[in-house]
Amino acid sequence: MPDFLIEAKIGGRIAGVDEVGRGPLSGPVTAAAVVLDPSHIPFGLDDSKKLNARVRETLWAEILRFAQVSVAHATVEEIDQMNILNASHLAMKRAVIGLGQVPDHLLIDGNLIPSGLTLPATAVVKGDGRSQSIAAASIVAKICRDRIMVDLAQQNPGYDWHTNMGYGSKSHIAALQNLGVTSHHRRSFKPVYNML
C-alpha cells in the first residue's frame, strides 16, 4: 500500500500528479494533481487500477472533501498532433497550473518529468503504488476520464465506451470495423490508423 513517506521526507505542500488514458483508442488523456491534507488522508488510498468502482467513488468523495484537486485533459487532436507521451505531459502540466495554491514540490508518476515545469519535481516509478498523493491523483483522474467516456458512449452508441473506456476491446474493434471511425478516435493509433 502507498504511504506518505516520500512526501514527509521532502516536506512542504506536495502535489501528487498522475494521468490515465494513455492506451485507449478513443477519448482524451486525463491528468490530476492532488495536494493531500496530512491530517485528513483518506484511508485505503491505492493505485486506482487495484480498486473496484465502489471503493474508488468513496475515496474520490473523501479526496474532494479534504484535498486540493485539479483535473485537466489533452484532446484527441492534441494526442494525434504531439504523440501520447507529450499529450500526457501537457495534461499533467495543465492539472498542476489548475491548482489554486502553488505546491512546493511535485511527485510525478512514472520515470519522466514533463519538460517546461517551473516547480521542483521528482519522478516516482510505480508512484501510484508508493505515494498516497499520487494514488489520490490516479483515483481522481480515472473517475473523471471514466465519466467522460460514459458520456461519449451515450452520444456514440455501439462502441461500448461505457464499459471499455475507449480501450481496444473486441467489441470496440468490431464497432470500428462496422460503424467506422468517430471524431473521438485517435487517428495516430495503429488500429484506427490502419482502418483509415
The per-residue pLDDT for range 43-57, each reduced to its tens digit, is 999 999 999 999 999
Task: Specify if 196 maps to a domain.
Answer: no
- Of 44, 40, 59, 63, give the one whose Cα is nearest residue 2: 44
Task: Specify if 73 maps to a domain.
Answer: yes
Please say whether the beta carbons of 74 and 88 come within 8 A: yes
Which range marks the domain in which residue 68 is found?
5-190
Domain count along the chain: 1
Task: Specify if 182 maps to a domain.
Answer: yes
Distance CA 142, CA 49 (A): 9
- pLDDT tens for 75-105 read 999 999 999 999 999 999 999 999 989 999 9
Task: Specify if 101 maps to a domain.
Answer: yes
- pLDDT tens for 12-49 read 999 999 999 999 999 999 999 999 999 999 999 999 99
Q: Is 90 exceeded by the pLDDT of residue 8? A: yes
Q: Is 90 exceeded by the pLDDT of residue 196? A: no
pTM of the model: 0.97
Task: Specify if 25 maps to a domain.
Answer: yes
- Of 148, 140, 110, give the one whose Cα is nearest residue 42: 140
